[in-house]
Every structure is written in C-alpha cells, then in structure tokens.
Chain A
Amino acid sequence: MVQTKTFSIQGMHCASCVRLNERALKHIEGVQDAVVNLATGKATITYDPQKVSEELIQEAINSVGYTADFKEKTEDEEKERKTKELNDLRTKVLVSLGLASLIVWGSFPGLVQTSPDFLQDFLVQFLLALPVQFWAGLMFYQATIPALRHRTANMDTLVALGTSVAFTYSTIVTFSPQMVSQAGIEPMPYFDVTAVIIGLILLGRYFEAKAKAGTSEAIKKLIGLQAKTARIVRAGKEIDISIDQVQIGDIIRVRPGEKIPVDGVITEGESSIDESMVTGESIPVDKTRGDKVVGATMNKSGTFLYKAEKVGQETLLAQIIKLVEEAQGSKAPIQRLADLISSYFVPVVIMLAIATFVGWYVFGQQSAFLFAMLNSIAVLIIACPCAMGLATPTAIMVGTGRGAEHGILIKDAESLEIANKINTVIFDKTGTLTNGKPIVTDIVTSDKAKVTREKLLQLAASVEKGSEHSLADAIVKKADEENLVLDPVTKFKAIAGHGVEGLVGRHRVVFGNIKMMEREDINISLARRPLAKLGEQGKTVMVLAVDGKLTGLIAVADTVKDSARAGVEALQKMGIEVVMITGDNARTAKAIAKQVGIKRVYAEVLPQDKEKIVRQLQTTNYKLPTNVVAMVGDGINDAPALAASDVGIAMGTGTDVAIEAGDITLINRDLRSVARAVDLSKKTMNIIRQNLFWAFGYNIILIPVAMGVLYPITGWLLNPALASFAMAASSISVVANSLRLKSVKL
C-alpha cells in the first residue's frame, strides 16, 4: 500500500536545493513521487513503506548535503491527530447523549406520557439508537474484534458485549414482538439502556482523555523549555542556527531576555540568570566569566559570550527530561496487586455476568429472563478495570512531574514509594550541609602590635599567595574582596603541616598554626583565649607574627548553607531523625551540628566507613525492626554510602550535578528540598492509596450489587444505565484525584 509522508529538510536556501533533494528522493527505490517546498522547508513523498525506511530517506538527503528531520512533523501530526480524535469524541458524545435523551423521553416511565407519540414508536427508537450503537459505539467493536482475535479482552469488550446484548434483544422486540410474547415476556425494548450506556461511557472517556493529558503536562513543559535557535559567533560573524546544529566549542552570544540555548561556560561578559525553570531556585544567580550556564535558563540583564560544553542529549535539561521519562515508565511496588488482578479481571467479569444471568433465570421469580438479562448487562457495564489501571501510573506521572518543577528528580517509582517511609536522614557535612568552601570568618588583631585589621589581612594574604593550601585561597580571596594590594614576598617557604613564612619588605612574616609559632619560638600567650574560643566554634585559626612578635589571628571556616537549619528543622518536624556524618574532627563537627540543630553526629569517619554507619543505622533502631535511612550527599564522594542507604539523595551544587548518582537528585542547593522530596513522596503515596482503595472498593462493592446480591434483603438492583454513569465517574475520579498533586504545596 502506498503512503505519503511529510518531513522537514534542513539547510535549503535556493531553488537548486529543491531540485537536488527531489532528485535524491526520487532515486530511492520505492519512492513514487517527491515534492520539496522551499518556502516551508518540507518534503512530501509518496512511497511504498515496505521498501522505504526513514534511514534510506536520511541517507539520500545526506548524500546531497542536507538533513531530513522526521521528528518535528511526526510530533505535529500526532498532536493534530489527537486534537481531531478528541473533537470527534466530543461530537459522538453530544450526538449520542442527544439521541439517548430522546429515546429516554419516549420510553422512561413517568416521562413517556409527556413525549410525542412518534418517540414512543419502537421503530423510531430503533432508528435513533442505531447510530449510537454502530457509529458512536464503533470504537468499542473496533477494539473488541482484534482483542478477541488475540484471545484478550479489555474494558471495550465489556461495553461492546453488554450493549450488544441489550441492542439485539431490543431489535428482536421491535421487529418480532410475538417471539418475545410467546415466551411470556412483555415486548419492551431497551434502546434507552444501550444509548445511555454508550453516551455516558463516551462522555467519561472524553473527560478522562482531557484529564490524562494533564498528567503528562510537566514533561511537555520541560521539553518546551528548550530554546529553538542559538546565535553563534563564527569567523567574527554572528549567525542564528538551529539548536540541533550547535557543536561543542561553539561560541554563543546571549542577549538580555534571551534563553540560553545549551550548557557551557561564560568566556566574556556577565549577567544575572534565572535558573528557576531548571533548578526550581527562585532567585536569579549572578554569573561571570568562568561560571557555568545551563541551557533553557533565562538571561535577565547582561549580554555575554559563552562556550558550548554540552549539546544535544548531554545537556542538563535533556538529562532531566530523560530521568523524568524513565521514572514515569517505572512501576511502583504497590501496584503489583493491581497488576495481578487486572490480568484476570475482564474474563472474570464475563464469567460473573454469565453466572448472574443463570442465577436470575433459574432462581428469579417474575420476568426472570428480563432480570437475568438486565442484571448481567449491569455487571458487564459496572466493572471498571480502567480505574485500577490508572490508579498508580497517573499519580506517579503527576508526582514525578511536580518534583521536577521544583528541582526534585526522582529516579523511579520505587524510590518514590520508599521515600515515604524514611525515618532517618543522614547528612554528609562538607559540601552538603556546608558550602564546602572555607571563608575567612574572623580577623583579630593583637592589642600590642598596633596593626589595623586590613594590614593584618594584607600581610597574611601576601605570604599565602604563594601557598597551595586550601585555606590560603580563602585568605587571598578575602583580601581581593576588600581590594587590598598585596606586597611582593621574598624568601617564601612553606612548611608542611605548619604554615608559611617569607620576607615582606624588610619584615619577616610568619603565618601558620600553633605548632608553627612554637617552632619559631613566638610567644602566643596573649592569644590563648581567642584561640580557644574560635577553636570551639569549629574554626581553623592561624596566627600571624611579624619579626618574631604576635600580630593577630585569622580564623577560617566552612560555613553552613543558609537553608541548612530550616532544612533540618523541616525534617525533624516530620518526626524524622536527622544525623550528621563527617570525616572532620569532632570539635568542628559538633560546632556545625549545633549551628544547624543536629544532635546525633558521627565525626572522624573515613570515607569507606560511611557506608558501615548507614548499614548500622538501618538495623539498629529501638522503635522499629528496620529503619528506612536516606543518605544525603554530593553524589560524587559519597557514592557507596548513597548506594547503601534505602534512598540515596544526591544534592547538586546549583546546576553542577551528578544527575544519576542518587535515587533522588536535588538540583537546587536548597536543603529544604530534602523535606520537600519526602513530603512529595508521602503525598503521592497517599493519592495512590486512595486511588487503589477506590478502584478496588468500587469493583468489590458494586459488582455484587449489580449481580443483585442485595435484592433479597433490600430489593435493590442496579439499572445498567446508572451502572454506566458510575463506571465513567469512577475512572475520571481516579485521574482527577491524581491531578490534585499538581496543586500541592511543596
């Protein structure tokens, strides 16, 4: 069978390009015709799908120097098709409900007296029900026939079966009523039942389709964030190219208000960048030369040039999308029971419907046949396997999507499920609770030395400039921030584990720890008190001496993140025990723990032993047989501990993040995100439990009611039309309940 296909061709700019591409396409065996349009940049081919593949087309287009893009068109086509489908469905709903109301008017006891005579005519009712059954309801047959060929069944099979039985019976009543009367049954058709069932189920489908589209909104939003073009600088000229063509190493210009196309590093200029769409952090970040920028974030104020470092599938956004898609494709363990039941559900319902018919026919009193038929139809229609199928996946989709919007990336549904049971959270200290970069916190001058604070810092920075020690960076940076001009140093010497010394002008400057001072025989007795005080606060203190005399102290410390205390408190409020683990000494560890409000601290733990502590905490809990432990780390140094924990939470430092390191990855720096992730997990699991409870409860209660088990006691029976309403409402309510996650506050 011949098909047509339309796709984009990139790189065309003149009429000869059109000819070249057309010729290349027509040369493919199996292509009957090819038309290329320069204005739209698109090609339409008529071809034999057995002989022509997308690969062959791509090869042909590439051979003449262009690129074919099938994706864009396919997505548009799909979108168009979906919209058309939804519009068709709406028309069918309106027509079938309209026709159904006419039939109901002409047949429903109480209403029938008010209806015109022609509506009471069975033949008219038949004619009105005919399009509902075979035009609006065609989709049920279209799904049932191939399924039966495969010896499988689904929701559509039940609807097709139920309505066909009622329609066939009603048709017999209409055309040969004597056949029914002979059996002692009053000839009364049930076209109202078939039409109402189909109308209401289609209405349910319409709302369900609309609601379901909302569950995948987050991922669509993420994909939509991507910039379409990039302005690259090549040979001194700036040109706009498609984002797909940006290559690593390209220099890209970004102007105020523009989206940053791909990931890279700023080479010139500075700006304030809104990264909220990717990290969930609401405050714009100032960036300058050497800073990393992320594709899809928004440039606010300045113009800058940057070098592309990651393109295509390697960008942070592409990885986030991939992770969210994967999570949405995974299955939560809680779903297992629903899975097991759903594989038997439809056949069991059909068997129950047969049993209902037999039961009513054999044991029923008056009009046994009618009761048997109507009740077995009610059983087929009331059964709602859809609610069970939708209960977990829709909530997972909305939950993971909602997380991604806030910079919380959940690897899979299982992690989301376990996270709701977390009762212990272990934080790694350096780089997680703290910023991981030491800064100068205190500058104390000696009363005797009579130097200013600035002079003290300037001297210390001058000698430290030549040092490679990590603390030296903090001091030099502080001097730089205060615009101090450093002096040249001669005879510089670094003494490992002690400090540094050198000549600044004619003065001999010594800067280091107490051991250094002892080595140099410098009297520090006057500094004992501030030294002890700063030490207790967990700070590293260094002493400066000029020409053998104590001049002052500089304290350096890693600072806690602004959100650390609030992050810890939020977890504690949820009843979760918070623990800190660090390789640092006990004094520093305790000082930091005190600042953030953590009571339980494991200090001086070697990296390889962190994993052991995690395991220890998992098994030793005085309240519970097992603990569900989450480990929060940077994802690079703590990989084994993260893997050993029940939920490994990798915390990014802004946009620089090892995205697949944890079960949950937090892209933003905000430590409150840990509690938010746990909260999201709890809320999602609650929704899933409600959905499953509803889906199971609904079927467990209403199927027996439809069978008529309450009839002997209360005289209650379920009208098949009412059953269709309940069924439609059931699956919509599950999806709508999942959509509530979209508005939960995190």
Chain B
Amino acid sequence: MDMNELVVLFIGALGIIFTYWFFLGKKPSFAEATGGRGIDVIVEGGYSPEVISVPKRKTTKINFTRRDSNSCLEEVVLPDFKIKKYLPLNQKVTVEITPEKEGEYPFSCSMNMFHGKIIVR
C-alpha cells in the first residue's frame, strides 16, 4: 500500500465517520406545546422543530408551513392520527391532534424520507 492509498483510506474512514455523525448523530430540534398554544413547524429540508412535545388529552394545533419546493415534502403524514395533508407552498396548514395515550408518534413526508416525532406527555 503506497502513501496515496493510505491517505485515501484515512480520508475515506473519516468520511464514513463524518457521514454517520452528521446524519445519524444529530440532536433533533425540539419544541413544546404549552398552555393550549399551537406549534409552528417550518417544512424546509425537513421539519423544524423535528420533535414536538404535546400534552395528553388536549387538542393541540400544529401549523405546518412548507417553504421547500421539493415535491418530496409536499405531503405530511401523521399515521397514528390518520392524517395526511397536502401542504401548498408558503401556506399555513393546521393539523389538530388530541392524543389519548402517552408515547412517541412519528410523522413524515409521504415518501418517508423526512421524519419528525410527536411526544405525548
């Protein structure tokens, strides 16, 4: 193995570690719904915030606004609440949920590429 190969091997290993850390090791952005106020979620290259904490047995409004023209994000699906909504570009779309049980409920785009989570407490 010559020097070039060693360098490529080293950079490659770093690249793999970096990819893992960058995509899988991130701390998701978080927001909490309190006092009956809704939560605004910006849909642009994913969901911000990605993790939403909502109270049990209370109706919470989640307002999605899509700013990303990527067609992958044009629908949001909250399967546990049987909600699938089309998100027109730059328009606020409100989804109301009244969770009965504590737990984690994922949501995603319709192609299941971008993910978020609702934590019911």
On chain A, the number of residues with a Cβ less than 8 Å from chain B's Cβ atoms is 52
Chain A residues, Cβ within 8 Å of B20:
347, 351
Cβ contact within 8 Å between B115 and A343: yes
Query: A74-B88, A328-B84 are known contacts. Are A151 and B72 too (CB-CB below 8 A)?
Result: no
Selected from A139, A386, A393, the residue in CB contact (under 8 A) with B69 is A139
- Interface status of A428 (Cβ within 8 A of chain B): no
Cβ contact within 8 Å between B1 and A362: yes
Contact bitstring A123-147, B, C-beta under 8 A = 1, else 0: 0000000000000000100110111
Of B8, B69, B88, most A-chain CB atoms within 10 Å: B8
Shortest CB distance B87–A (Å): 10
- Which A residue's beta carbon lies closest to that of B86? A78
Shortest CB distance B46–A (Å): 4
Selected from A78, A350, A385, the residue in CB contact (under 8 A) with B88 is A78
Shortest CB distance A398–B (Å): 14
Query: A355-B16, A358-B12, A361-B8 are known contacts. Are A338 and B72 too (CB-CB below 8 A)?
Result: no
Cβ contact within 8 Å between B79 and A152: no
Interface footprint category on B = 35 or more
Q: Name the prevailing secondary structure of the A interface residues.
A: helix
Chain B residues, Cβ within 8 Å of A530:
none
- Interface status of A102 (Cβ within 8 A of chain B): no
Chain B residues, Cβ within 8 Å of A156:
70, 72
Contact bitstring A351-387, B, C-beta under 8 A = 1, else 0: 1001101100110000000000000000000000110
Cβ contact within 8 Å between B70 and A143: yes
Cβ contact within 8 Å between A152 and B46: yes
- Interface status of A480 (Cβ within 8 A of chain B): no
Cβ contact within 8 Å between B88 and A142: no
- Expressed in whole angstroms, the Cα–Cα distance for A247 and B61 within the complex equals 29
- Expressed in whole angstroms, the Cα–Cα distance for A385 and B110 within the complex equals 12
- Interface status of B45 (Cβ within 8 A of chain A): yes
Cβ contact within 8 Å between A342 and B112: yes
Chain A, 405-441, CB within 8 A of any chain B CB: 412-413
Cβ contact within 8 Å between B112 and A339: yes
Query: A326-B82, A329-B84 are known contacts. Are A146 and B113 too (CB-CB below 8 A)?
Result: no
- Expressed in whole angstroms, the Cα–Cα distance for A699 and B72 within the complex equals 20
Contact bitstring B9-53, A, C-beta under 8 A = 1, else 0: 100110110011011101000000000000000001111101000
- Expressed in whole angstroms, the Cα–Cα distance for A361 and B6 within the complex equals 10
- Expressed in whole angstroms, the Cα–Cα distance for A393 and B5 within the complex equals 45
Shortest CB distance B19–A (Å): 5
- Expressed in whole angstroms, the Cα–Cα distance for A50 and B79 within the complex equals 31
Cβ contact within 8 Å between A357 and B12: yes
Chain A residues, Cβ within 8 Å of B106:
339
Cβ contact within 8 Å between B19 and A344: no
Contact bitstring A679-716, B, C-beta under 8 A = 1, else 0: 00000000000000000000000000000000000000
Selected from A85, A342, A355, the residue in CB contact (under 8 A) with B113 is A342
Cβ contact within 8 Å between B68 and A146: yes
Cβ contact within 8 Å between A350 and B8: no
- Interface status of A267 (Cβ within 8 A of chain B): no
Cβ contact within 8 Å between A146 and B5: no
Cβ contact within 8 Å between A388 and B112: yes
- Expressed in whole angstroms, the Cα–Cα distance for A462 and B50 within the complex equals 74
- Which B residue's beta carbon lies closest to that of A70? B91
Selected from B9, B82, B86, the residue in CB contact (under 8 A) with A358 is B9
Chain B residues, Cβ within 8 Å of A362:
1, 5, 8-9
Chain B residues, Cβ within 8 Å of A300:
none
Cβ contact within 8 Å between B88 and A150: no
Cβ contact within 8 Å between B88 and A146: no
Chain A residues, Cβ within 8 Å of B26:
151
Contact bitstring A149-184, B, C-beta under 8 A = 1, else 0: 111111110000000000000000000000000000
Query: A155-B72, A362-B5 are known contacts. Are A149 and B45 too (CB-CB below 8 A)?
Result: yes
- Interface status of B120 (Cβ within 8 A of chain A): no
Chain A residues, Cβ within 8 Å of B91:
74
- Which A residue's beta carbon lies closest to that of B17? A351
Selected from A142, A330, A361, A412, the residue in CB contact (under 8 A) with B5 is A361
Chain B, 80-121, CB within 8 A of any chain A CB: 80-86, 88-89, 91, 106, 108, 110-115
Cβ contact within 8 Å between B111 and A386: yes
Chain B residues, Cβ within 8 Å of A205:
71
- Expressed in whole angstroms, the Cα–Cα distance for A357 and B11 within the complex equals 11
- Expressed in whole angstroms, the Cα–Cα distance for A393 and B22 within the complex equals 29
- Which A residue's beta carbon lies closest to that of B84? A329
Chain B residues, Cβ within 8 Å of A150:
44-48, 50
Of A77, A150, A209, most B-chain CB atoms within 10 Å: A150
Shortest CB distance A344–B (Å): 7
- Interface status of B78 (Cβ within 8 A of chain A): yes
- Interface status of A43 (Cβ within 8 A of chain B): no
Cβ contact within 8 Å between A330 and B71: no
- Expressed in whole angstroms, the Cα–Cα distance for A146 and B85 within the complex equals 21
Chain B residues, Cβ within 8 Å of A342:
112-113
Contact bitstring A66-93, B, C-beta under 8 A = 1, else 0: 0000000010011001000100000000
- Interface status of A214 (Cβ within 8 A of chain B): no
Cβ contact within 8 Å between A355 and B12: yes
Query: A74-B91, A152-B114 are known contacts. Are A358 and B8 too (CB-CB below 8 A)?
Result: yes
Selected from A152, A385, A393, the residue in CB contact (under 8 A) with B45 is A152
Cβ contact within 8 Å between B83 and A329: yes
- Expressed in whole angstroms, the Cα–Cα distance for A393 and B16 within the complex equals 32
- Interface status of A148 (Cβ within 8 A of chain B): yes
Cβ contact within 8 Å between B70 and A139: yes
Contact bitstring A523-558, B, C-beta under 8 A = 1, else 0: 000000000000000000000000000000000000
Q: List 7 A-B contacts (CB under 8 A).
A: A329-B79, A342-B113, A354-B19, A358-B13, A385-B111, A389-B110, A389-B111
Known interface pairs A142-B68, A329-B81; 14 further A-B residue pairs with C-beta atoms within 8 A, sorted by A's residue number: A74-B88, A150-B47, A151-B26, A155-B113, A329-B78, A329-B84, A329-B85, A351-B19, A354-B12, A355-B16, A357-B8, A362-B1, A362-B8, A389-B111
Q: For the complex of A and B, list the 4 residue pairs with the smallest distance between their C-beta atoms, beginning with the closest.
A: A146-B45, A329-B84, A358-B12, A331-B79
**Chain B interface (Cβ < 8 Å from any Cβ of A):** 1, 5, 8-9, 12-13, 15-16, 19-20, 22-24, 26, 44-48, 50, 68-72, 77-86, 88-89, 91, 106, 108, 110-115
